[in-house]
Chain A
Amino acid sequence: MYSAYGLAIKSDIELPALAHIEPTEPDITIAAATIPADAGGKTKFRNWEAEPERFLSSFFGIGRFLITGGDTIHYDRDAGADDTQIISIILGTALAAAMMQRRILPIHSCSVMTDQGAVLVMGRSGAGKSTMLGGLLALDLPMLADDVTGLDFDNNGQPVAIPGFPAMRLWEDSLTKLGHSTDGLPQVRSDIRKYYVPVENFHTTRARIRAIVHLTVSNETNVRIEPLGDAERVECLSRFIFRKKFIDGMGMRRFAFEQVAKTVNQVPLLRVTRPAVAVEPKRLAQQMLDHIATAEAVSVL
């Protein structure tokens, strides 16, 4: 049994990056299965199809994945696909679809815990989320998630972040630069030099969201930090729902809009524009946290 996103996961395939837990009633069961050709949903979309509570996706040369009811992930492996290929889909696309079915919005962001709540950093692929996360971890802040953070609400209707799992995915190149060896680390894919790196300083429980940051890159020379205007806030957070097209496919657009609107009404959103040239990660992270603290003090956000 494993734990991720606050869920107990029973899996017949070993999931190297996830924490083991004592056997319990599973929230999600992952198992190999024969998925019939007509197992998909009403909305057909090239390599995936969906309907409420049902999602089917085909990955060329890897297999087909059926996610139903928020509690079952079935995979039907193509000949020649190895475990790492199956696992990388399970930990990305399949878990995201299951979270949506459980009414948890997956947000494409890394996140850390500060003394006043979780800070999520969203950004398009390549914007520098991993570097920012590196900077935040160097400040000794516990990690909640490396790539996808769950968004939910507590009993008082306050937005909360749900931690992912205690590992980062890093290229060998980055690991070497950080002075780490790849010895004994599981590979994300057996044929790609990218590894799951365990993160010991991991925050395991859901946490109130203190701020959400949109990280972008520009050719300016200085770091720019500014609050997002009202008109932009819903659009910005919506844009970073991980696998956002699945939302429409599963008939969840209204739900997602409400969750996003509720969140941006309660949580400050700001944009950090970093120069394209390298900025020292720890300094950038500190600059961002200082800005959040200052803005909170004067209630600008």
Chain B
Amino acid sequence: MTSAQFDNDRKLIWLASYPKSGNTWLRSLLTAYLLPHDEFDLNAMLGEQDPFDRQQLDDHAGISSADFLPHELIPYQAQLHRDMAQESENWRLIKTHSAYVKADNREPLFPADASAGVIVIVRNPLDIVPSYAHHEGKDNAWVIAHLGNEHAGTDSWRHRSTTMLPQTMSSWSINVESWLSQSEVPILLLRYEDMHRDTEASLTKALRFCAIEIEPGLVTKAVSRCSIDRLRIDEAKKGFNERPSTQRSFFRSGKIGDGAKNLSKDQISMILNDHGRVMEMVGYPANSSIL
């Protein structure tokens, strides 16, 4: 198995995924495992998005990022990532929904000389649809169009700037393929479905990738602590600062196979048409048997 490659300059491990693919769940598992003596707190998980905080970039580079176009920010962000890696005492986990993108000068947003590795989490896009629709408060048709939109992103700054920097998600296929086809940053691919089927094995893989010694008892404990049911209870009790709105919860059932049941034949066919090639690349059946 490929492992992350740490050195004094390479300390960042990216947790990269298209939205609603299990990134937050993996963050919770890693937090419960790596901080076993702390009381687990949904609102204080490892894998924050600090480098995408606009103020952080402005302070670091001495720029007003809101007066720049998103692609112009990449070289400044890349240098921020390098400095964060060099200045961190320990390795760091950072969550992103961005595709693996490069600036016009071909400099990558996730520079290899700062990045020890990336854990890419993927999920069958058919199941992403209902989950994402709930998250965004939109219908399935909107999400399907969004999954296919190569210009899609978070905090796009087309009409106004936000506290977070724009991230180019692109389409589901481009997002997944951009990470899997790069060879600069060591990569571990985790599938949401495998995390569901055998959470302990998936967490163990992620920890091994990060060169963490495995204590099986702790893995079992972390998995039990971060079952979807318990995370839902946490969210109901204390709230979750990443929930989409006060009206909608973040954690749902997390079931596998829900997507196909909720979608029309035309919608399924549209997804297979748009993403079938990359779905098969990551082991999801993309043939007519689903219809």
Please indicate the chain B residues that have their CB under 8 angstroms from the CB of A124 in the complex: 55, 163
Please indicate the chain B residues that have their CB under 8 angstroms from the CB of A246 in the complex: 62
Please indicate the chain B residues that have their CB under 8 angstroms from the CB of A193 in the complex: 159
Name A49-103 residues within 8 Å CB distance of B: 57, 59-61, 88, 92-93
B66 to chain A, nearest CB (A): 7
The residue of chain B having its C-beta at the shortest distance from the C-beta of A93 within the complex is B62
Which residue of B67, B75, B246 is within 8 Å of A60 (Cβ)? B75
Which of B58, B65, B104 has its CB near the most chain A CB atoms (within 10 A)?
A: B58
B239 at the interface (CB under 8 A from A): yes
Please indicate the chain B residues that have their CB under 8 angstroms from the CB of A57 in the complex: 62
Name B57-111 residues within 8 Å CB distance of A: 58-67, 69, 72, 75-76, 79, 82-83, 103-105
Q: How long is the Cα–Cα vector from A93 to B60 in the complex, in angstroms? A: 12
Which residue of A46, A173, A194, A244 is within 8 Å of B61 (Cβ)? A46
The residue of chain B having its C-beta at the shortest distance from the C-beta of A124 within the complex is B55
Q: Is the CB of B241 within 8 A of A47?
A: no
Please indicate the chain A residues that have their CB under 8 angstroms from the CB of B191 in the complex: none
Binary A-proximity of B33-45 (CB < 8 A = 1, otherwise 0): 0000000000000
Name B183-231 residues within 8 Å CB distance of A: none
Kindly specify which of A29-37, A158-166, A184-192, A288-296 makes contact with the partner chain: A184-192
Please indicate the chain B residues that have their CB under 8 angstroms from the CB of A192 in the complex: 67, 69
Binary B-proximity of A151-191 (CB < 8 A = 1, otherwise 0): 00000000000000000000111100000000000001101
The residue of chain B having its C-beta at the shortest distance from the C-beta of A96 within the complex is B62
Given A125-B54, A171-B159, also A88-B72 (CB < 8 A): no
Q: How long is the Cα–Cα vector from A46 to B76 in the complex, in angstroms? A: 9
Q: Is the CB of A173 within 8 A of B160?
A: yes
Q: How long is the Cα–Cα vector from A227 to B82 in the complex, in angstroms? A: 38
Please indicate the chain A residues that have their CB under 8 angstroms from the CB of B264 in the complex: none
B162 at the interface (CB under 8 A from A): yes
B11 to chain A, nearest CB (A): 17
B264 to chain A, nearest CB (A): 35
The residue of chain A having its C-beta at the shortest distance from the C-beta of B103 within the complex is A60
The residue of chain A having its C-beta at the shortest distance from the C-beta of B57 within the complex is A125
Majority secondary structure of chain A interface residues (helix, strand, loop or mixed): mixed
The residue of chain B having its C-beta at the shortest distance from the C-beta of A127 within the complex is B163
Q: Tally chain A residues at the interface, Cβ within 8 Å.
A: 29
Given A126-B161, A219-B241, also A59-B63 (CB < 8 A): yes
Classify chain B: how many residues form its interface, as a range: 20 to 34
Q: Is the CB of B64 within 8 A of A189?
A: no
Q: Is the CB of A60 within 8 A of B72?
A: yes
Which of A47, A126, A246 has its CB near the most chain B CB atoms (within 10 A)?
A: A126
Given A46-B79, A60-B75, A219-B241, also A245-B161 (CB < 8 A): no
Q: Is the CB of A188 within 8 A of B79?
A: no
Q: Is the CB of B67 within 8 A of A88?
A: yes
Q: Is the CB of B62 within 8 A of A125?
A: no
Please indicate the chain A residues that have their CB under 8 angstroms from the CB of B83 in the complex: 46
Q: Is the CB of B241 within 8 A of A61?
A: no
A48 at the interface (CB under 8 A from B): yes
Please indicate the chain A residues that have their CB under 8 angstroms from the CB of B162 in the complex: 126
Q: How long is the Cα–Cα vector from A260 to B154 in the complex, in angstroms? A: 37
A243 at the interface (CB under 8 A from B): yes
Q: Is the CB of A219 within 8 A of B62?
A: no
Q: Is the CB of B163 within 8 A of A125?
A: yes
The residue of chain A having its C-beta at the shortest distance from the C-beta of B246 within the complex is A219
Which residue of A60, A172, A191, A219 is within 8 Å of B76 (Cβ)? A60
Q: How long is the Cα–Cα vector from A240 to B133 in the complex, in angstroms? A: 38
Which of A194, A244, A246 has its CB near the most chain B CB atoms (within 10 A)?
A: A194
Given A126-B163, A193-B159, also A92-B54 (CB < 8 A): no
Q: How long is the Cα–Cα vector from A191 to B59 in the complex, in angstroms? A: 24
On B, residues with C-beta under 8 Å from A are 54-55, 58-67, 69, 72, 75-76, 79, 82-83, 103-105, 159-163, 239, 241, 246
6 A-B pairs closest in CB distance: A126-B163, A173-B159, A46-B79, A60-B75, A124-B55, A88-B67
On A, residues with C-beta under 8 Å from B are 46-48, 57, 59-61, 88, 92-93, 124-127, 171-174, 188-189, 191-194, 219, 243-246
List, sorted by A's number, 9 A–B pairs whose CB atoms are closer than 8 Å.
Answer: A46-B60, A48-B61, A60-B75, A60-B103, A172-B159, A174-B160, A191-B69, A192-B67, A244-B59
Seed contacts A46-B83, A60-B76; 9 additional CB < 8 Å A-B pairs: A47-B79, A60-B72, A60-B103, A61-B72, A124-B55, A126-B54, A171-B160, A189-B67, A243-B59
